[in-house]
Chains A and B, each alone.
Chain A
Amino acid sequence: MLHAGGSLTREMAGGKAWGIQRMLSLGIPVPPAFVLTTDVCHDYHETGRVLPGSVADDVRTAMLHLEERTGRTFGSTERPLLVSVRSGAAVSMPGMMDTILNLGMTPDVEAALAAETANPAYAADTRRRFVDQFENIVGTPPPDEPWAQLDLAIRAVLDSWHSKRATAYRHSRGIPDDGGTAVIVQAMVFGNLDDRSGTGVLFTRDPLHGDPEPYGEWLPRGQGEEIVSGRTDALHLGDLAVQLPSVHADLLAAARVLERTAGDVQDIEFTVQAGELWLLQTRAAKRTPRAALRCAIQLHHESIIGVAEVLDRVTVEQLRAVLRPHLDPAAVSESSPVAAGKPACPGIAAGVVVTDADEAERLADAGRPVVLARPTTDPDDVAGMAAAVAVLTELGGSTSHAAVVCREMAVPCIVGCGTDTVTALAGMVVTVDADSGTVYPGELAVRAPVASDDEDLVTLRRWLRDAMGDNETAVDVVDLMKRYQARRVAR
């Protein structure tokens, strides 16, 4: 069982379970959960994919605890308990089984939930999601026996450690094969239960600009995975404050505690079930280079981290990105994007869209800036890519041919914009912001930042100079940071 004050390490329990243990230790409401540690994964694979005998008993005992804590019973037709099953390697990797929600669901359980909630649509919806997800991930339809479902799901997690994709990923990154994955089983809470239920994400600070206000989305009557996949009908966090003020206040209080104890901006997933708040996950938030700089400085101003910590966190690349020319925010806010995808090579450029590499070369030779837009790039597009000021593709990710070639030539590039998106812009003049992955119509104004006008950079530069002593002659903030880091490594 995961409990407050638990001593499981990240290696044994994986990142997710370790985060749950941390929240419990801080007195934050988390649905009860237990974890099969990475040792179980070792034994399972060492004995030719056989679960150690004691594990079945341990799972039964732990499930009893979940039942006691929730007052619900697994597989029962009266107040049935449903659980989620997740993988939990110390580092997350593609190819690992991710999550099965609502496990324990059967036709009888659906009927019981429908009666309990007087909401048959909700119960049917929950079962439909479960069957889809189970089939998708385990590869067979779920059996009607909940314990058999649990057994299959646990094995699917353990097996996924040796999936082709996960193995290839580990080899490519030099991650050893013997780490193993943990399995986390957690009682479900339901954001789709009633009008006082929902799900959301909260960033403790704005991950785009770094402003010190919480930032997030709230999806009434939504369940876990929906908000993560970017539903368009999600509301702002402020709407939660109006709808359920005490939940909103509790959430912000928990977020502050988590940020302060972790010493970093947190990305928190939460669910509200019938007016009761539950936190599902917390982790360090991904953020833009600007937000990384501003948050580090703000965290110091709020006495959460020291100056040395700030200087260690901000990277040379983040400083370079902050100093790169960027689009005038006023122009951006007045414009609506005509396409968007994954940034593959940073930079900003404007030009006329052409869809043919030969034409790109011809127009570029004639002195016109061109943006080459292709469904995907072929080898014979390379000459056209070299002539273009920016490249857009409809298919492919950050390891695609277009991405590799553009990075090599330092041509701004956005990939994976979607079928029939960018090629449909042929003939139009556009501005490509490959820092954010957005394409705007027309030619937008570009601003070149000046380090001495930027309050965050001025502060950072002062701290770097203080840390380096009087002998330091470098004046540029990027140079200062490089030298500071070189000195840290040398020590």
Chain B
Amino acid sequence: MTSELLRVLQTLRLKGRVLPADLAAATGIAESRCTAMTNDLITSNHAEEVRGRLKLTVDGRDRLAELLAAERETVDHEAIEELYAEFEPFNAEVKSLMTRWQLKDHETPNEHDDPDYDKGVLDGLNELDARFRGLLERMVTAVPRLAHYPARFAGALSRINAGDHSWFAKPLADSYHTVWFELHEDLIGLAGLSRAEEAAAGRAE
């Protein structure tokens, strides 16, 4: 199934070097099936294993670029542009929440010693997540390949709400920020834009 293959290749690209178990979790593909797919990718020289972690080869990146270009031919461009426009204000809110989580003001780090302050930010995240879900569903309807995102957001949020706050912004793990940023990257690609252009326009930094 092309959308599953595309999902695996894109996740490998976005995460750089990833443990096989993490790849299955992030793509939402059963571990045994995911292993079979990555074995095929290694055989065809699209991926390689470096010290127990999987990464794309140059051929793999080219294959990914081809599949993404083909996917762009099939999606409704106008719908994607509208979805991306709707995503923008949410993105600004998430960035603001992330910054408030890390900094109390521009030179005071949040040391997480004030439960009321942290609760304010976490309530903000939960509230945003609830409002964002509808838009995310519509994104999945427009581009079925994105179907793994809802479960990833839900996974990060439930870990945060269970008290492990590192799942808010932890890099190199499927934290809320990581998943958000990967979704943003997918949307930029689907809309046929580049991150540099978007960053220059102040929409993606």
Contact = CB atoms under 8 A, between A and B. Distances in A.
A386 B196 CA distance: 21
Interface string B12-29: 011111000000000000
Interface stretch (B37-45, B146-154, B168-176): B168-176
B71 interface: no
Contacts of A419: 200
Contact of B199 (A173, A375, A399): A375
A317 B93 contact: no
Interface in B152-177: 169-172, 177
Contacts of A385: 171
Interface in A365-384: 375-376, 378-384
A401 interface: yes
A92 to B, nearest CB: 13
B45 to A, nearest CB: 17
B81 to A, nearest CB: 19
B195 A378 contact: yes
Nearest to B100: A172
Interface stretch (B1-9, B106-114, B134-142): B106-114
Interface residues of A, number: 40
Contacts of A378: 14, 185, 195
A409 interface: yes
A32 B205 CA distance: 43
A349 to B, nearest CB: 18
Interface stretch (A97-105, A239-247, A390-398, A454-462): A390-398
Given A396-B199, A399-B96, A404-B102, A317 B107 contact: yes
Contact of A375 (B92, B99, B106, B196): B196
- Interface class of chain A by DSSP: helix
Contact of B16 (A164, A321, A380): A380
A405 B103 contact: no
Nearest to B107: A317
Contacts of A409: 171
B87 interface: no
A174 interface: yes
Interface string B84-126: 0000010011011111101100111100000000001000100
A379 B108 contact: no
A273 B14 CA distance: 59
- Of the candidates A164, A173, A397, A401, the one having the most CB atoms from chain B within 10 angstroms of its own CB is A401
A49 interface: no
Given A168-B92, A407-B103, A408-B171, A379 B205 contact: no
Given A317-B109, A399-B205, A380 B171 contact: no
17 contacts: A169-B96, A171-B93, A317-B108, A357-B16, A378-B195, A379-B15, A379-B185, A381-B16, A382-B172, A383-B172, A386-B172, A399-B95, A404-B98, A404-B169, A407-B102, A408-B170, A415-B205
4 closest Cβ contacts across the A-B interface?
A396-B205, A400-B205, A383-B16, A172-B96
Interface of A: 164, 168-169, 171-174, 289, 315, 317, 321, 357, 361, 375-376, 378-386, 395-405, 407-409, 415, 419
